[in-house]
Amino acid sequence: MDMQQQIMELINSYGYFGIVLLIALENIFPPIPSEIILTFAGFVTLSSNLGIIESVLAATVGAVIGAIALYAFGRILTRERLVKFVESRIGKMLHLKITDIDKAEALFSKHGHKTVFFGRCIPVIRSLVSIPAGMTKMPLHSFLLFTTLGTLIWNTVLIILGRLAGHAWTQVSSIVDSFSTVITIGIAGGLIVGAFFYYQKRVRSTK
């Protein structure tokens, strides 16, 4: 049984609890695709007793739970310990990459608290942005506010799209995933360009 089938089975079997569990795990384990979870949840509302509003709330609760776990993780770890954890066996099992964490840190350093809000719509960053928020000791109430609002918007859009698409929900999921990939490439390119100009500036200042 592949991951998509497992996601569908969990939601069909456990309803709202399945959505909460899957989205919480998706926040902690980036490889789990929220696009599939949310669009399928929207599709299921057409033929079950699951409601759109309740599904959105369940997904948001799950996202906040997962985000708090990573925020707490960031609070207790130094940069050195984080690198060691990512390179450990557990870190590799979770598919964590130091480059992804570097991207999240770079965005957080540049845009601050706004990254927690807007980052919820960016793949991988959506999960890992909670770590630098914790490491920089971002106030918990601000973190919860921006996390809740950002995930609420993301969850609402994808669940409604899944419902509107009906049996074509998998196509919506693929389109959103492709769009997310483009965003990720754009961010990576922006970081490379930014690093280049920063290096050039440093070189000129030393002359």
Residue 206's pLDDT is 65
Mean pLDDT over 57-70 rounds to 94
The Cα 190–Cα 42 span in angstroms is 34
Residue 57's pLDDT is 96
CA distances from residue 156 to 42, 96, 151, 159 in whole angstroms, order as listed: 9, 27, 8, 5
Instruction: Give buried/exposed letters for 173-193 (b at 16+ CB in 10 A, else e).
Output: beebeeebeeebeebeeebee
> Could you identify the residue written with the tokens 């709202």?
16
pLDDT, tens digit (0-9, with 9 covering 90-100), for 127-164:
778 888 888 888 999 999 999 988 998 899 889 888 88
Residue 60's pLDDT is 95
Two structure tokens written together for 17:
């609890």
Residue 187's pLDDT is 45
Residue 31's pLDDT is 67
Mean pLDDT over 59-85 rounds to 86
pLDDT, tens digit (0-9, with 9 covering 90-100), for 164-198:
888 877 777 666 665 555 444 454 455 455 555 65
Q: Give 160 or 101, the one with higher predicted confidence.
A: 160
Residue 183's pLDDT is 46
Mean pLDDT over 33-50 rounds to 87
Mean pLDDT over 42-51 rounds to 89
Q: What is the mean pLDDT of the chain?
A: 78
The Cα 51–Cα 55 span in angstroms is 6
User: Looking at this protein, which amino acid is placed at residue 185?
Assistant: I
DSSP string, 66-128: HHHHHHHHHHH--HHHHHHHHHSHHHHHTT--HHHHHHHHHHHHHHTTHHHHHGGGSTTHHHH
The Cα 188–Cα 104 span in angstroms is 11
Mean pLDDT over 84-108 rounds to 70
- The rounded percent of the chain whose pLDDT value lies above 90 is 19
Q: Give 65 or 166, the one with higher predicted confidence.
A: 65
Residue 64: which of 146, 136, 119 has the closest Cα?
146
Residue 201's pLDDT is 66
CB 83 within 8 A of CB 98: yes
Give the N- to C-terminal CA distance of the chain in Å, as an integer.
Answer: 61
CB 27 within 8 A of CB 60: no
